[in-house]
Amino acid sequence: ESHFSLPPSPAGSSALGAMAASASDGRSAAGPVAPGTVYLVGAGPGAVGMLTVRAVEVLSSCDVVLYDRLVPLEIVRLARPTAEVRYVGKEGNVNTVIMKGQQDDINSQLAELAKKGLSVCRLKGGDPMIYGRVGEEMEELAGAGVPYEIVPAVTAALAAGADARVPLTFRKLATSLRILTMNPTTTKDDNFDWQQFLAPATTYALYMGLSALPGVCEKLIAVGVPKDRPMAVVDRASLPSMQVVAGTVGTLPPLVHGRTDLEGPAMCLLGDVVGLRERLSGVAVPAPTPAPAPVADAAYAMALVALPSVATEGLERLKERIDALLAARKGAGDEPPAKRPTAA
């Protein structure tokens, strides 16, 4: 468990988060979040713009936020300024026993915090229901009698397909999609069903597959998957630094070997649809014209999206808070940088 203060956000980026938090102070269960409740929230593939409106609503309202390793700080900063923020990330390739102990500790924290009457946001990379170990947290909360809500998100496979220009299904070419997790443990598992990769008209989205790629491709070839079956690695899907390395089952491992610029998280896509990406790549989207601040601010954009769903009373409180903030800033003659208090 780690309690800490986040690095300062760009000036003004948490102002609307503060206003939203202020407007929601004292709300009952009819508001965005309820006391004594845990929210299992998906942070999506990484880009702030991929967050759902509900995810932002919960994140900006909860008393406590527990977030994972793959959640960018730009998203964590959307937490309400007075929230207690805990980093509970787990490193990859950790011993199973250690991993279980860490997860058990997280489960206990969620239940204990909720029983204190706090609203708790458990923030996970991607979608919480896909390789997010959310089932164990659901089991803990259900057993402890703690109410919880699951907030789904854009999972990495969808973002990777979009960024790589690979439609995960395609009429007559790919009629099904399989999602699997791939790591060095998988390639050593004698009970793993490698024959499933021979299914016709199927696209495979392989999570956590980059480090195990050579072993995975060896297994695929051994069971009869053609060496020329299209395959690609999509690194950091949804982010500006996203990269795609395309090849085949036979050629992809050497293409990515030693590539230190592939930082991860990475997704591997396998199937005939991957071979369509050059034909479907089309014309590049023109770079957007930078908008003047604060329009370019992610929190500002999220607030604009959420405003139509805010009740009249909430809008009135929000306006009062905005007027007070503007008056204070004019009086100070300066716009103070956003900062977060040190968590207990």
Between CA 249 and CA 253 the distance in angstroms is 8
State how far the Cα of 80 lies from the Cα of 303, in Å rounded to an integer.
13
Question: Which amino acid makes up residue 3?
Answer: H
Q: Rounded distance, CA 105 to CA 1, Å?
A: 8
Say whether 68 is catalytic: yes
For the question of residue 339 being annotated catalytic, the response is: no
Catalytic residue from among 25, 63, 90, 330? 90
* DSSP letter (8 states) at residue 264: S
Residue of 68, 127, 163, 235 with catalytic role: 68
- The partner residues of 232 in beta bridges, in order of sequence, read 246, 269
CA angle, 115 as apex, 80 and 44 as ends, to 5°?
Answer: 45
Listing DSSP states for 24-52 in one string gives HTT--TTSSS-TT-EEEEE-BTS-GGGS-
Task: Using DSSP, state whether 195 is helix, strand or coil.
Answer: helix
User: What residue has token string 């490193």?
Assistant: 91
Instruction: Compute CA 141 distance to the chain's CA centroid, rounded to the nearest angstrom.
Output: 22
What is the C-alpha separation between 76 and 87, in angstroms, rounded? 10
> Which positions are annotated as active-site residues?
68, 90
